[in-house]
Amino acid sequence: MKISPLIFRNYDIRGVVDVDLDKLKVEALGKAYGTFLVRRKIGQMVCGRDCRLSGPKFQKAFMNGVLSTGVDIIDLGLIMTQMMYFGQYRFQTNGGAILTASHNPKNFNGFKLGVGYSQTTGPEDVQELRRYVENDEYFIAAERGKISKAAIKEDYILDVLKRVRLKRSFRVVVDSHCGTTGIYVPEILRRAGCEVVEMNTKVDGSFPKGTPDPTDGHLMEALAQVVLSKRADLGIAFDGDGDRIGLSDEKGRVLWNDVAVAIFAEEILERFPGSKIIYNTLCSQVVREVVKNHGGTPIIWKTGHAFIKSKIAEERAAFGGELSGHFFFADNAYGHDDGAYAALRILEYLSEKKVSLSQLYESFPAYISSPEIKIGCPDDKKIGVVKHLAKRFMTDFPDAQITDDTVIPGDDGVRADFSDGMMVFRYSQNGPYITIKFEAKDQAVFEDRKKYVLEMLKKYPEMIWEDQLCVNLDFLNP
């Protein structure tokens, strides 16, 4: 089948509905994944979807493809991504798929595909699926697989709640931004003993309030204002499929998620001194400082939930996290990213320390930090742009510590670390855009770095300044 090779990304599949993906292509992807499972002697899988409007028809087509290979399916329906992983444990199967495009705009959809408990496809796995589709190379079973339905909401909620104990109640603003979490998260927090102020929790796959992306400064500022007006203890925003979060403290400040990585690292290192902590190249130097100050070993690694999970397993680390809001707990959970559980872990730590989120935040080394900035760049151009940027970094910052693919094999970006902050450019694995972040300890230095980033981006005609995938570009305004 003729299909865009660009939808096959490093660890998942993602494209534009009715352009890259239609029912026939989705069914072919189901046949490919079923073949992938059969060759690994996996005869059963769980399957669900997020709330995107294309989800029901695409899930039906995908499952039809899988069933043709003889693999049985347990249909979990409308769920958060972490519930797909939980379903693997609940039904003891390595196979799992959820149809989601996470934080991408409403006209996107895609797949996260399991290759084991809590693990999703890596680059070689995704390319294997691509070959099956392009060559129409599918296993066709003598007998079709069987499909059954299962409701796992209660089992999942009980499993999450048994892992935390809040020593006090909190007033929490929850912003689902019309994503799937509106069905689940408010109930989870209330059953944990919290008072919940709901914000955009009515599920609507057309995302009338905008794309549910907790790295979006406008989304987070709106949450912060509600936190202030409701005199809440904190605010928590979620992405479309529930595996990522964003935070606002009670003072109405947005805490970018590298700060959350530092919070979780501190909490874990208090209990497991000397542990390894994995974080991605987009994170602030505050993570490294907090980990070292608490006797841990900081390990910086390439961006991507599949890559971070694999690195955690390889290093036997206690925790890993990303600026995007993916957090992976290997101490008292399954090790996959779960936004609801991460929210409860923040609340649990605050209740144990008897501090507010702002007090915890203010105890960390202070950096002036940009949000995660995303600018459009075509898939067939973005790698070349970042490679060229890496060479410029070598010339422009001869005294900086440079991290690129010569330091982290297969890395998708270039990072310069200074004595007072960092700057990083990377290309996305999830879509046609480039991501940037920078920081400093001094406001004047920060403004110089902002100016450098803007001037650098304007040197490349490949940049798309007005694109639905752009996020936080106005932060670069002088």
Catalytic residue list: 102
Contacts by 130-134, CB closer than 8 A, 24 or more apart:
130/3, 130/5, 130/8, 130/32, 132/31, 132/32, 132/35, 132/36, 133/1, 133/3, 133/25, 133/28, 133/29, 133/31, 133/32, 134/1, 134/2, 134/3, 134/5
Q: Find where tokens 């997020």 sit.
A: 50
Residue type, 124: E
Instruction: Spell out a b/e string for 1-39, using b for 16 or more CB atoms within 10 Å of the CB, else e.
Output: eebeeebbbbbbbbbbbeebbbbebbbbbbbbbbbbbbe
Residues 6+ apart with CB under 8 A from 391: none
Rounded Cα distance between 393 and 158, Å, is 49
Tokens encoding 35? 């073949």
Q: Are 114 and 96 in contact (CB under 8 A)?
A: yes
Rounded Cα distance between 449 and 422, Å, is 9
